[in-house]
Structure 1
């Protein structure tokens, strides 16, 4: 694969994960490609006994892999280590996999490309993952798995739908004054933060690169955000938080998406930033009213991992590599433990993390194309419990699936 293809794929995949690397062009993008996380977009999971009904059509993919038994249930862990594309419910501790997304490139008439997502959600009647009937542009499921916020059509859009997961119907549309391209729930499920953009942040505009290299590059068009009260649908005032200007290489911090996220307890907001090569990733912090601020004391060392701070606030998931990932003391940033996984996605409880890890650790190179599987790791244990087989692409798609995780 030549440099052009590598850079192109790196930027496309960063967009799928709502983040990206910063500048030295091909060199820094490829460096980030080797250390990046496979993120997605916003999580969803199943309530323990709640009936969740989603409008779906049957998913006809998800083959069994040779190896472990196809199903396993131990205590609060429900695993299917034989499924390379999940068909049956997967969960561990307080967190479950209620679906996954898959990205694809949609060519545009002018030569640009649009990164589109398809969502595969859990049907609680069958306890299987099935492709959603509606091609939502964005799906974010609230803690407790009763309501999902959805965006439709071409992004940005000026309304947010509230989807009742028990019926599969949108019960309410909330109209906004600014177009938004992402929504995320607060940890308590009472509010949403909706990030506004002038243009679709998933539209990849083809422009000249460095020398003879050309690839789709994203534009920086974030304008700010609004907070939405879930129960009433009340929309708060628009907060101006424009996307930073491009760096000296013409690249935007994060490359594409610069969505706002709630922190551990929902008292502040942050934007994930990807540092230049050789430095640590970091977060830009804001108050709920949009003022730049410092990080909460227990999150000042937070970097790239989605898992972040543990439920009890005593541990912090940190950036890892092919050999594994450290776990930090959140107050000092000192390494206190280690887990055998590369991408820390969500805490199952205060000692266990759901993560992505190399399917064959002995052959793990640390490169982006290492086959990874969903696993459960325990702090200070060398064992990774497989929750799925190595991820493959669902039938009809070219890319592997990205997990959607949240409290169940």
Structure 2
């Protein structure tokens, strides 16, 4: 959306600074929370099927450990860099604090396009990266999870690699695993389910009938695809969706079930080549600017900037992705009366159920999917209501309110624990 990619870590710091100013945080606490506590960069070789070897770069960043072990996903993407991972780790700290689970924030990534790897190459890359970051991760230290382009199978490889090093199964070292090897029921759909719950809560608090909402979803993977399906089940009309191959629109509503069945059959789980009566194609840029009630960005960062924010025609933006809105775009949305349900709230369903999976793994006692979904709904609705009350009390947008709650909790933990030595 911009000619030059905006630095996500600078954006994360700006968002933090705004909350820190309003809270009048002491300078020493602000200095601690503005930067990550630990950063690990690794360069590691992977042998390809043809016998050649290539060196890949990966990162693991731990932003803050004040409220417990750190939590955060691992993404595989060619555009991963250290500042992106720093930003994502910081956002994870606030996300965990906002939904009040006992974690700090972390994030990891490898600079790679997994679509260019065979299954064997992907496994070797994953196991080697897991070995490289094994000095940081552990069930009582740092618990990774899936993110962009990583899957339950990849999480299983990481769990198995760490378990081989330890000589016994370490179930709780990672979340987002397949259920057969200690994963939690409901985890795969958790982030998308959380997004759908936030749409419902926004509608309830604005006297909107969900069955009359027109919804546009950018991204059709594990977040956007699930959110679209659940919103369709609620009665919303999903009029447009997109993935890396472009956008698909039908004013009368798309058949999300059929589209998900199509991607399940596609070798790369993409919508490429999808056709249906009345469905037209458009670009991702055009999709974001469609008139709608609810717009769900569920792709990557920096989708809304000062360049396109004036052309967005949604009543509410529910951020399924991390960091899709720049501060300049936020200011424009506020001036235009467009509500933004921020990423640290809207997509917190994933880390919430990851927490449930971690607890189940530690206890070796597993819950039903109904129990998982009920607890997820309780946590997400409570966080939404708390953020809404804070926004009304302080007369600020929901993002600022969410940051006020989250930063205050982390700051209190930091001050209570003190500085060692």
Structure 1 length-normalised TM: 0.29
Q: Which has the higher helix share?
A: 2
TM-score if structure 2 supplies the norm length? 0.28
